[in-house]
Amino acid sequence: MMAEEGKSRVALVTGGSRGIGRAVAELLAAQGHQVAINYVSNEEAANEAVASIEAAGGAAIAIKADVGDEDAVAAMMTQVQEQLGPVEILVNNAGITRDDLLMRMKPDAWDTVMQTNLKSVYLCSKAALRGMLRARWGRIINVSSIAGVAGNAGQANYAAAKAGVIGFTMSLAKEIGSRGITVNAVAPGFIETDMTAALGNDAAAAAADQITLGRLGRPEEVASAVGYLASAEASYITGQTIVVDGGLAI
């Protein structure tokens, strides 16, 4: 029997302590879900996100884990299950950049980005699927990037990983659609986060000039797309990538 739509569920957001991940965690909590916020190093930011959710009347916990490590992911899933229950909504958001021109890119910069941005999606999805398959209900939402759709000079590693996320999304959607589980992705463009802040004001202004809407996006605008894909209203959408880029790629 399929799980009831519209009820409070257990959500896990990887890389959920700041930026897009935090906005997603806060939105899912506002929708009534219990949220596990994963982080790898910034415990203070993760605790701040939990406090913000609890202050608004929601329920959240913070869990430290390197989502590119299989044992750490297994331990994280066990902790979520023990404290909240099996993961029903998984948002694979964790991501890093190690930008450089390909001819200067070190193998470690390639491997680290692949592990955090792509291998983590495989590990977390596989671990969460066990409970979803038993329940015959689940939502997996993967955060890709416009770089995975259109590429970006100096980001061959990042773009390849994010393009891989899109291919993974479509493949897994085909595998498990008959079990009541949807798998989708969102592909943000330039969003106001710590990652884009590192570009500097001049680079941000130059980026805004390329965007149809004339500005960088806000984390909450990406979170809205994720929240929709996690909702009952999106129950007939799977294998899709929603581009949230203000018209950058058109």
Please give the Cα distance from 25 to 34 (Å, whole number): 9
Contacts of the segment 7-11: beta carbons below 8 A, 24+ positions apart: 8/32, 8/33, 8/34, 9/33, 9/34, 9/88, 9/89, 10/34, 10/36, 10/80, 10/84, 10/85, 10/86, 10/87, 10/88, 10/89, 11/35, 11/36, 11/87, 11/88, 11/89, 11/90, 11/91, 11/230
d(CA 248, CA 210): 6
Which member of 122, 158, 228, 236 is catalytic?
A: 158
User: Distance between CA atoms of 159 and 189, rounded to whole angstroms?
Assistant: 12
Residue 158 annotated as catalytic: yes
- Tell me phi and psi for residue 33, to 5 degrees: -90, 155
Q: How far is Cα 154 from Cα 203, in angstroms, rounded to an integer?
A: 14
- For the chain, the straight-line distance linking the first and the last C-alpha, in angstroms and rounded, comes to 42
Between CA 67 and CA 220 the distance in angstroms is 23
Token pair 């980001």 in the structure block, residue:
155
Tell me which residues are annotated as active site. Answer: 158
